Amino acid sequence: MPDLTSTPIATGRESADWFHLEGSKLVRNLKWGSTVLRSSVDVREPVSGDLKGEWWRAYLRGQRPAPVLGWNRALRAVDLFSGPGGLANGFSQFFAEAGYPMTSELAIDQDAGATRVYAANHGTLRTSSASVASLLDFAVRRTSRQTTFHYPPEITDENIASALQEVDVVLAGPPCQGHSNLNNHTRRDDPRNSLYLTVPAFAVAIGAPVVVIENVPAVLHDADNVVETARDLLIAEGYNVVSGVLNAAQMGWPQARRRHFLVARRDFAPLPLQDVLEILGEPEPRSVWWAIHDLEDAPAVDVVDEGTVVSSTNQARMEWLFDNDAHELALPERPKSHRQGTTYMSVYGRMHKDKPAPTITTGFMSPGRGRYVHPTRPRVLTAREAARLQGFPDTYRFVVDSGSPPGRTQLAKWIGDAVPMPLGFAAAFSAYAPSLP
């Protein structure tokens, strides 16, 4: 029989994260200082010895945790550059475990389809497809001594401004393509990069006590130093700020995905992200197969489950990988531009069944965009499989209108650009752990 009581994952600074069974319930104990968050989920038989994995499986099935303590007031959230709600998934999960219901007040994204998906899954009261910058009036003043707002930032849309009183947290994932190492044209000096600064301006304009911004790690190398500028602006407005890079694989999640987070809070200093990693981290990530094994030959219910039809040439390349029990495509089988050698050996690659997935990008539906060939079948990942690896539960509704389902390009963007749930959870823990009773 496996040991079904997990040992604390971390014990530094009187902190720990451990799980145990109480009859048919799996209980999580998340401890920081004198505070212990305790919540439970119902488990299915048989239960493996991997109790944290069982906890995450319950999440992926769509099961919400039942907290030991509940609180009277919901936490009100605004999400800028929201996409379909990946970052919000992590916050919603943390709030559920902590006993605070989350009310989604507003989601803004110029992709109206993404905000429809967001609202369908998070019960959002108001959505907007306006540019965040168009809703704000602000200016930044830099001197040799400090960086501040030239005058108090203001929301120019009266309807939005009047609806956002007493918001608790502003979440944001500004466009990252301008920072991405995959962008070889305008990297580091892209006009979209300045949108990062709309986030502190929006938060200050509505008086939000907590701000969380996520982006690719390369945002730190932006030509205009947007992270440092945002940090200075928030500090000048009385916020305490921590920042750093978190990797989902270091938390045991089955994907190697790194994201930069800036976490700011007015009344308490957020928990340093390195401390968060020490508490929530695990020695090894789970495998691709842990996440998607039951979807190997799953029937297609809708477009999210359907396989992608590729060219006959690419289908032959995928067949070659299985015929030769290989995970990298041989040079003679590659496009002519690759045949003299390439540094992109993962392109046209097959996933390793027993390893975590590589970073899921918007190209996961094409074998020519990365290592996205299924580990046991000559096909690329379905949107459902990629969504699981990104931390979307199976109950997440990407199709909100059966008469007009999203196209594959939309699905790939929504899923590939998202933030895995454990990373959003970690950011929420950083922001709220120091203030929990």
Query: pLDDT tens for residues 310-320?
Result: 999 999 999 99
Distance CA 7, CA 18 (A): 6
pLDDT level of residue 176 (50, 70, 90 thresholds) = low
CB-based contact 171:109 (threshold 8 Å)? no
pLDDT level of residue 182 (50, 70, 90 thresholds) = very low
Residue 377 pLDDT greater than 80, yes or no? yes
- The alpha carbon of residue 432 and the mean position of all alpha carbons in its chain are separated, in whole angstroms, by 18
Distance CA 171, CA 203 (A): 9
Q: How much is the mean pLDDT over the chain?
A: 91
Give the pLDDT score at 270.
97
How much is the pTM? 0.92
Give the pLDDT score at 69.
81
Distance CA 50, CA 54 (A): 6
Residue 292, H or E segment: helix 288-292
Q: Looking at 110-114, 184-188, 410-414, 422-426, which range is the least confident one?
A: 184-188
pLDDT level of residue 145 (50, 70, 90 thresholds) = confident
pLDDT level of residue 192 (50, 70, 90 thresholds) = low
- For residues 65-76, average pLDDT: 86
Give the pLDDT score at 9.
58
Give the pLDDT score at 244.
97
- For residues 154-177, average pLDDT: 91
CB-based contact 245:275 (threshold 8 Å)? no
The conformation of residue 33, written as its DSSP 8-state character, comes to T
Distance CA 350, CA 288 (A): 12
| 7-16, 34-43, 167-176, 418-427: which is most confident | 418-427
Q: Domains of the chain (ranges plus CATH)?
A: 12-66 (no CATH), 71-286+421-435 (3.40.50.150)
- Rounded to 10 degrees, what is the CA torsion of 419, 422, 426, 432? 100
User: Contacts from 177-185 at CB under 8 Å and sequence distance 24+?
Assistant: 178/222, 179/215, 179/216, 179/218, 179/219, 179/221, 179/222, 180/216, 180/218, 181/216, 181/218, 182/361
Residue 6 pLDDT greater than 80, yes or no? no
Residue 179 pLDDT greater than 70, yes or no? no
C-alpha count within 13 angstroms, C-beta hemisphere, residue 230: 31
Distance CA 379, CA 328 (A): 14
**Which of 252, 230, 250, 251 is closest to 241 using CA atoms?**
230
Helix or strand or coil: residue 196? helix
